[in-house]
Amino acid sequence: MQCKMSETLVSTEAQELLYQLTALLEQELRCQPKASGLRLIEAAHDNGLRMTARLRDFEVKDLLSLTQFFGFHAETFSLAVNFLDRFLSKMKVQPKHIGCVGLSCFYLAVKATEEERNVPLATDLIRISQYRFTVSDMMRMEKIVLEKLSWKVKATTAFQFLQLYHSLIHENLSCERKKYLNFERLETQLKACHCRIMFSKAKPSVLALSIMALEIEEQKLLELTEALEFLQLHSKINNRELTFWKELVLKCLTEYSSSKCSKPNVQKLKWIVSGRTARQLKHSYYRITHLPTIPETTS
């Protein structure tokens, strides 16, 4: 009975979601990484002197491990990646500083999105991350990051678009079919894409819609074709752009699901929590889960 909502209620809810989507679309280009800066990182040789795509991706995987370890939201991770890539695309960061930059971006994202009671102490975060820099080092880096981001910490992320697209599309499915468009699975796919620098060159709306479109095809939800086309039109995404990024996302997810892709290791974080640290940590820190694999689809 709950699924048989009145058409008026669904329509009103959909209109509100579309209003939110329009607002996000207007803002999305204001706080994104510089494409030219990202291309420089991708082109850099791994000589230990310059930031490279491999080092950036490795750092993002570490941030994903921390997200899983602390039980933080996918939104926090998506925002941390936005901060990191915006900073790296503007600044020449030496490889030895990437850990401090990455953790500072992560901490800023945690403080911006998580409930205050779930925000860890900086000392705990550094200790669990196994870095050798001090809290003072990280606080100084935070200030530098904020200055270079022009203090804009309300960035539009692919996670926000994915959440809205899912909410809007989900309403077009019958009760029996809703389970086939699982948001947790979509979240995991987005996390996998965030671990590749190339996807930071895509507009957040395009990345999110590419993931959504692929999942709809994978699950054979043909009844959603019209709704998907409407969202594509509303988001002003052309077919060529969507096809281009869908192909890259599919390649990434195929590699992610295979043994060829090295996945973040949450286990190593468990090993280094000493008895003293464990007593100081909040209970919520023990909501540790392994990085979820993307669930197999039911045939």
Question: Distance (Å, rounded) from C-alpha 260 to C-alpha 33?
Answer: 28
Percentage of the chain beyond pLDDT 90 is 66
Q: Which is more confidently placed, 299 or 249?
A: 249
Q: Which long-range contacts (CB under 8 A, 24 or more apart) does 242-249 make?
A: 242/206, 242/209, 242/210, 242/213, 245/202, 245/206, 245/207, 245/210, 246/210, 246/213, 246/214, 248/198, 248/199, 248/210, 249/189, 249/193, 249/199, 249/207, 249/210, 249/211, 249/214
85 CB neighbour count, 10 Å cutoff: 24
Per domain, the residue ranges of the chain are: 32-149, 157-257
Asked whether the predicted pLDDT for residue 208 surpasses 70, the reply is: yes
Question: Distance (Å, rounded) from C-alpha 253 to C-alpha 28?
Answer: 24
Which DSSP category does 93 fall into?
A: -
Chain centroid offset of residue 70 CA: 15
Asked whether the predicted pLDDT for residue 146 surpasses 70, the reply is: yes
Asked whether the predicted pLDDT for residue 1 surpasses 60, the reply is: no
pLDDT tens column, 261-297: 555 555 555 444 444 444 445 444 443 334 445 555 5
Q: What would the mean pLDDT of 183-194 be, rounded to a whole number?
A: 94
pLDDT of residue 287: 39
How confident is residue 12, by pLDDT bands cut at 50, 70 and 90? confident
pLDDT of residue 132: 87
Quote the radius of gyration of the chain (alpha carbons, Å). Answer: 20
The overall average pLDDT reported for the chain is: 85
For residue 289 the two structure tokens come to: 């889960």
pLDDT tens column, 98-130: 999 999 999 999 999 999 999 999 999 999 988
Statement: 32-149 belongs to CATH 1.10.10.10:
no
Among 211, 194, 219, CA closest to 296:
219
Question: Distance (Å, rounded) from C-alpha 112 to C-alpha 142?
Answer: 13
Query: Do residues 269 and 237 touch, judged by C-beta distance below 8 A?
Result: no
Question: Distance (Å, rounded) from C-alpha 222 to C-alpha 212?
Answer: 13
Q: Which is more confidently placed, 48 or 222?
A: 222
